A and B are shown apart, each in its own frame.
Chain A
């Protein structure tokens, strides 16, 4: 059988939406070339530590991927391979891939987990990755990553509506906040994603429903557990007015020890990633989720009361925006809808979420990758839009052919 010549790489520019594009490329099997990555920056041109890490993660869970950097790192060519997950023989030891994040990493582990949750359903074998090393930040970060708790309680449950629900586990082996200067943490997280599907189900989410309960996790690493109580009390102070069913867990752990070799003591270790934070999730009676996340800044100087209130306000803001998905989850949901079977899926989204740069860019990127455009029409509520997405039927088959 004569194979058709490979289609030319799709070209993108800029460091923004890098992960989104890499994920789409992996799912569709298209080669992409991203240029001008921070090329105008004098201090740190090219790919940042977390982006290189993400590329390495892609390489680890796929087989046959080719990644080429330019000399300056401002251009990257990515030819995706097959998503094999943690199958034996492809770098996984005992069915587990250990992915080490460097100490320079400034992004939370949520930055890696959310795209990984998009890829994992389409893997050949189950995906089982442990994020480890001095760069793992399990809390939310100032650069806008969600905490691991939010991924577990507000992103993973979303996949249920696509028929992806068995054997999903996100274990927090060791907590960590952002370290000094916003770099590194030293936590440890394991994602077990054991439910692979051929195609995600077509969804019709039209009714956002009403909030029936609010859950959350307050965490302190290396600092007094009283901070948790203060966070929770402040958040409750705002939210009690709305809902009687609020329960926030409190998790206190010691700070992780990471190696910090000095000249006179090569085996020295230091504590890193001290701090506290709060993750809140509101659930409606139709099982829609809204989430909010705050963590103490690495520089300190913010009282837990202040942060707790901020988190509560963030949650109220997300609830007020309405729609069936919040801004945090919208890209994940919309991408999975586009990958579904060739049928029209519908979802209600608030205008402010749809009218964000990220979502508009996602719509464009999806079309650029050959997915169909979205249909928009007014929803039942005043500021809601019904987005209809025709699936492309890419699923797990498309890559087996290429």
Chain B
């Protein structure tokens, strides 16, 4: 049961609210924790060293894109695959007004 509870559920809003203003963590760190990518490392108990290592690696990696950007970087070949998949296309259709004429049409 402990393992079940110890495992944090990723993308929880309350979790982000807590992490967001924790100034001890870098923003990248906050997001990785929020997304639950670091759960394993924390579980082992050797979290301190692991974190520090990862932190250092991250520093080096980040140095490359040290610029602000407005348009996010995207992997277009992955997107191409995603949006030619019928399932994803169907799933997005409900976001369009023309999808169902019976839907509440705002104005």
**Interface residues in chain A, defined as those with a beta carbon under 8 Å from any beta carbon in chain B:** 14-20, 38, 40, 110-111, 114, 140, 143-146, 209-212, 238, 241-245, 284-286, 293, 309-310, 312-314, 316-317, 319-320, 322, 327-328, 351, 354-358, 360-361, 363-364, 367, 373-378, 383, 385
Contacts and interface: CB of A to CB of B under 8 A. Distances in A.
B70 A316 contact: no
Nearest to A208: B95
Most buried by B among A140, A354, A360: A360
A146 B71 contact: yes
A325 to B, nearest CB: 13
A356 B72 contact: yes
B30 to A, nearest CB: 6
Contacts of A358: 68
Given A16-B68, A209-B106, A293-B71, A310 B76 contact: yes
A34 to B, nearest CB: 13
B69 A316 contact: no
Interface in B18-36: 20-21, 23, 27-28, 30-31, 34-35
7 contacts: A15-B66, A144-B70, A144-B72, A209-B106, A210-B96, A310-B76, A358-B68
B92 A316 contact: yes
B16 interface: yes
B73 A144 contact: yes
Given A20-B68, A114-B70, A363-B20, 17 more contacts: A14-B66, A15-B66, A16-B66, A143-B69, A144-B69, A146-B71, A210-B96, A242-B89, A243-B96, A245-B98, A313-B83, A319-B92, A327-B72, A356-B31, A360-B20, A374-B17, A376-B16
Interface string B66-107: 111111111010011011000001001111111100010111
B34 A355 contact: yes
A314 B76 CA distance: 8
Contacts of B107: 285
B68 A19 contact: yes
A367 B23 CA distance: 11
Nearest to A213: B97
Nearest to A238: B83
B4 interface: no
B63 interface: yes
Given A310-B76, A363-B21, A244 B98 contact: yes
B61 interface: no
A376 B96 contact: no
B69 to A, nearest CB: 3
Given A144-B73, A363-B20, A320 B92 contact: yes
A15 B89 contact: no
Contacts of A146: 70-71
Nearest to B28: A357
